[in-house]
Amino acid sequence: MKRILFISFILLAFWRCNDDDVFSFGSLMSQENIHFKAQPGGAMMYYKLPDESDIFGINVRYKDARNIEVLKTSDYGGDSLFLDGFNEACQGITARVTLVDNKGNESTAMEVTFNTEESAPYAFIDRAKVLPSWGGFQVLYESPGQASGMAHIFYLGTNPLTQEPDTILVKSFPILKGGDTLTFPLAQMREKNTIIVRTEDFRGYRVGQKIWPDIETYISEKLPLTMDNFDAGGKSLERDDLKVGLKYLFDGDLKGNQRMVTGKSKEMFTFLAGPDAVGKPMFVDLEEERVPASIRIYGILNMKLAKPAGNPWNQFPEARMPCDVIVYGGNDKNGNTWDRLGTFVQSPTLTPLDRWNYPCDQNNSGGSVNDLETLEAAEPCYMEVSFFASPARYRYLKIVVNDTFELGGGYASLQGDFGNHENYVAMHELEVYVKKD
With a cut of 50, say whether residue 13 has pLDDT above it: no
Express each pLDDT in 111-161 by its tens digit.
999 999 999 999 999 899 999 999 999 999 988 777 789 999 999 999 888
Q: Is 17 helix (H, G, I), strand (E, B) or coil?
A: helix
Report how far Cα 151 is from the mean position of its chain's Cα atoms.
15
CA pair distance 400, 281, nearest whole angstrom: 5
8 A C-beta contact, residue 268 and residue 322: no
> Nearest 5 degrees, angle CA 233-CA 235-CA 239?
140
In the prediction, which pLDDT does 4 show?
46
pLDDT digits (tens, 9 = 90+) for 272-309: 999 999 999 999 999 999 999 999 999 999 887 755 55
State residue 359 phi and psi, 5-degree precision. Answer: -65, -15
How many whole angstroms separate alpha carbon 300 and alpha carbon 18? Answer: 94
Q: What is the C-alpha separation between 287 and 395, in angstroms, rounded?
A: 6
Helix (H, G, I), strand (E, B) or coil at 6: helix
Amino acid at 316: F
SS3 at position 288: strand
Give the Cα separation of 322 and 299 in Å (integer). 10
Give the Cα separation of 349 and 272 in Å (integer).
Answer: 21
- Which uninterrupted H or E stretch holds 10? helix 2-21
Alpha-carbon distance 421 to 424, whole Å? 8
* Rounded Cα–Cα distance for residues 282 and 227 (Å): 12
Which residues is 155 bridged to in the sheet? 168, 195
DSSP 28: P
pLDDT computed for residue 309 by the predictor: 54
Question: Both ends of the chain: CA-CA distance in Å?
Answer: 114
Strand bridging mode 42-47 / 80-84: antiparallel
359, pLDDT greater than 80: yes
Give the Å distances, CA to CA, from 394 to 103, 183, 217, 335. 76, 23, 19, 13
For residue 2, the model assigns a pLDDT of: 44
DSSP state for residue 103 in the 8-state scheme: T
pLDDT for the residue numbered 308: 56
* Residues 6 or more apart in contact with residue 199 via CB below 8 angstroms: 121, 122, 124, 125, 149, 150, 151, 152, 175, 206, 207, 208, 209
Q: How far apart are the C-alpha atoms of 322 and 333, rounded to whole Å?
A: 23
Give me the DSSP letters along 172-185.
Answer: EEEPPTT-EEEEEE
**Model confidence band, residue 25 (pLDDT cutoffs 50, 70, 90):** low
Q: Please give the Cα distance from 143 to 200 (Å, whole number).
A: 14
Mean pLDDT calculated for residue range 250-269: 89
- CA–CA distance, 324 with 160 (Å, rounded to integer): 42
Convert the pLDDT of each residue in 315-343 to its tens digit: 788 899 999 999 999 999 999 999 999 99
Q: Whole-prediction pTM value?
A: 0.74
pLDDT tens, position by position, 213-231: 999 999 999 999 999 999 9
Q: What letter would DSSP give residue 320?
A: G
Question: What are the DSSP calls for 232-269, one per residue?
Answer: -TT-B--BTTTTBSGGGTTSS-SS-HHHHHH--TT---
List pLDDT tens digits, range 396-435: 999 999 999 998 887 888 888 788 989 999 999 999 999 9
Radius of gyration (C-alpha) of the chain in whole angstroms = 35
